[in-house]
Structure 1
Amino acid sequence: MSNPSDELAARMAAAYNAGEMAQVVALGEQAAAGDSTGEFIALLLGSAQQATGRMDEAIETFSRLSQQHPAVSAYWNNLAVVRRQRGDLDAAEQAFLTAQSLAPDDADVRYNLGLLYTQQRRWPFARQSLMDAVALAPAFIEARLQAAHACYVCGDNTGQEAMLAGAAHWPAQPAEQALMLAAMLSVQGDLPAAFDALARAQLPDGLDGHAMRLRIVARRIALLERSNQMPVALRELQQLPLATLDALPPDDARTRAEGWAAHAALALRAADYAEAADFYRRIAALRVDDESVAAANFGLAAAYDKVGMSRESWAAASAAHAAQLSIARDVVPELLAPDSQPLAMSGHIVSRATYEAWTPLAAPPAERSPIFVVGFPRSGTTLLEQMIDAHADFRSMDERAFIHELTEGMALVGQRYPEDLARLDQTDADHLRAAYFRMVADVLPDLGTRRLVDKNPLNMLCLPMIMRLFPEARIILCLRHPCDVLLSCSMQPFRSPAFMLLCSSLQRLAHGYVQAFEQWHRHVETFSPRVLEWRYESVVSQFDDHVARLGRFLDVADASSMARFAEHARAKRYISTPSYAQVTQGIHRKAVDRWHAYREAFAPVLPMLRPMMEKLGYDD
Structure 2
Amino acid sequence: MPTPPSELAKAMASAYHAGEMEHVVALAAQSPETGEADESTLLWLGLAQQASHRYEQAALTFRRLAQMQPEVSAYWNNLALACRQSGDAAASEQAFLTARSLAPGDAEVLYNLGLLYIEQRRWLLARESLMEAVDLSPHFIEARLQAAHACHVCGDNNSQEAMLAGAIDWPPQPAEQALILAAMLAAQGDPDAALRTLARAELPPGPAADTMRLRLATQRAALHERSNRLDLAREELRKLPLSTLDLLPPDAQYARAEGWSAHAALAMRAADHAGAATLYQRVLALALDEQSQAGAAFGLAAACDRQGRHGEAWLALQVAHAAQLDIARDVLPELLAPDSQPLQMASSSVSRADYESWCPLPSPSALQSPVFVVGFPRSGTTLLEQMLDAHPDFRSMDERAFVHELIEGMELVGQRYPEDLASLTRMEADQLRAVYFRRVDRVLPERGQYRLVDKNPLNMLCLPMIRRLFPEARIILCLRHPCDVLLSCYMQPFRSPAFMVLCSSLQRLALGYVQAFEQWQRQVEALAPHVLEWRYESVVSHFDDHVARLGQFLGVADASPMARFAEHARNKGFISTPSYAQVTQGIHPRAVNRWHAYRDHFEPVLPILRPLIERLGYTA
TM over 0.5: yes
Q: Tell me: CA distance 1:600–1:32, structure 2 relative to 1, closer, same or farther (3 Å).
A: farther
Cα separation, 2, equivalents of 1:128 and 1:418: 29
Q: 1:618 is matched by which residue type in structure 2?
A: Y
- Contact kept, 8 Å, 2:433 with 2:469, in 1: the verdict is yes
Deviation digits for residues 587-616 of structure 1, max 9, x if unmatched?
111111101111011010001000011111
Q: Does 1:446 align with 2:439?
A: no
| RMSD of aligned Cα (Å) | 1.4
Cross-structure match for 1:379:
379
Report deviation, 1:469.
1.3
Cross-structure match for 1:184:
184
Report deviation, 1:345.
1.0
Report deviation, 1:34.
5.7
Give the 5 Å matches for 1:259-270: 259-270=259-270
Q: 1:508 is matched by which residue type in structure 2?
A: R
Q: Tell me: CA distance 1:184–1:200, structure 2 relative to 1, closer, same or farther (3 Å).
A: same
Cα separation, 2, equivalents of 1:64 and 1:447: 62
Deviation digits for residues 99-120 of structure 1, max 9, x if unmatched?
1122111111111111111011
Cross-structure match for 2:419:
419
Secondary structure of the residue aligned to 2:607 is helix
Cross-structure match for 1:65:
65
Deviation digits for residues 413-446 of structure 1, max 9, x if unmatched?
1222222222322222222111111111111112
Cross-structure match for 1:255:
255
Secondary structure of the residue aligned to 1:261 is helix
Q: Does 1:434 align with 2:434?
A: yes
- Contact kept, 8 Å, 2:173 with 2:201, in 1: the verdict is yes
Report deviation, 1:511.
0.5
* Percent of residue pairs identical: 69
Cross-structure match for 1:101:
101
- Contact kept, 8 Å, 2:3 with 2:30, in 1: the verdict is no
Q: Does 1:81 align with 2:81?
A: yes
Cross-structure match for 2:546:
546
Cross-structure match for 1:163:
163
Report deviation, 1:456.
0.3
Cross-structure match for 1:608:
608
Secondary structure of the residue aligned to 1:399 is coil
Cross-structure match for 2:504:
504
Cα separation, 2, equivalents of 1:207 and 1:242: 20
- Contact kept, 8 Å, 2:173 with 2:202, in 1: the verdict is yes
Cα separation, 2, equivalents of 1:418 and 1:85: 50
- Contact kept, 8 Å, 1:502 with 1:512, in 2: the verdict is yes
- Contact kept, 8 Å, 1:228 with 1:573, in 2: the verdict is yes
Cross-structure match for 1:31:
31
Cα separation, 2, equivalents of 1:24 and 1:438: 57
Cross-structure match for 1:271:
271
Cross-structure match for 1:113:
113
Cα separation, 2, equivalents of 1:187 and 1:268: 21
Most deviating of 407-416 and 147-156? 407-416
Q: Does 1:199 align with 2:184?
A: no
Q: Does 1:146 align with 2:146?
A: yes
Q: Which runs of 5+ in 1 are unaligned?
A: none
Report deviation, 1:358.
2.1
Q: Does 1:481 align with 2:481?
A: yes
Cross-structure match for 1:10:
10
Secondary structure of the residue aligned to 1:341 is coil
Q: 2:85 is matched by which residue type in structure 1?
A: Q
Cα separation, 1, equivalents of 2:105 and 2:442: 30
Most deviating of 24-33 and 431-440? 24-33
Q: Tell me: CA distance 1:423–1:28, structure 2 relative to 1, closer, same or farther (3 Å).
A: farther
- Contact kept, 8 Å, 2:3 with 2:31, in 1: the verdict is no
- Contact kept, 8 Å, 1:294 with 1:493, in 2: the verdict is yes
Most deviating of 413-422 and 189-198? 413-422
Q: Does 1:338 align with 2:329?
A: no
Cα separation, 1, equivalents of 2:32 and 2:256: 48
- Contact kept, 8 Å, 1:5 with 1:36, in 2: the verdict is no
Give the 5 Å matches for 1:286-305: 286-305=286-305
Alignment coverage as a number of residue pairs: 619
Q: 2:389 is matched by which residue type in structure 1?
A: D
Cα separation, 2, equivalents of 1:132 and 1:537: 50
Cross-structure match for 1:406:
406
Report deviation, 1:306.
0.7
Cα separation, 1, equivalents of 2:72 and 2:470: 55
Deviation digits for residues 561-600 of structure 1, max 9, x if unmatched?
1111111101110000000000001111111110111101
Q: Tell me: CA distance 1:209–1:532, structure 2 relative to 1, closer, same or farther (3 Å).
A: same
- Contact kept, 8 Å, 1:475 with 1:530, in 2: the verdict is yes
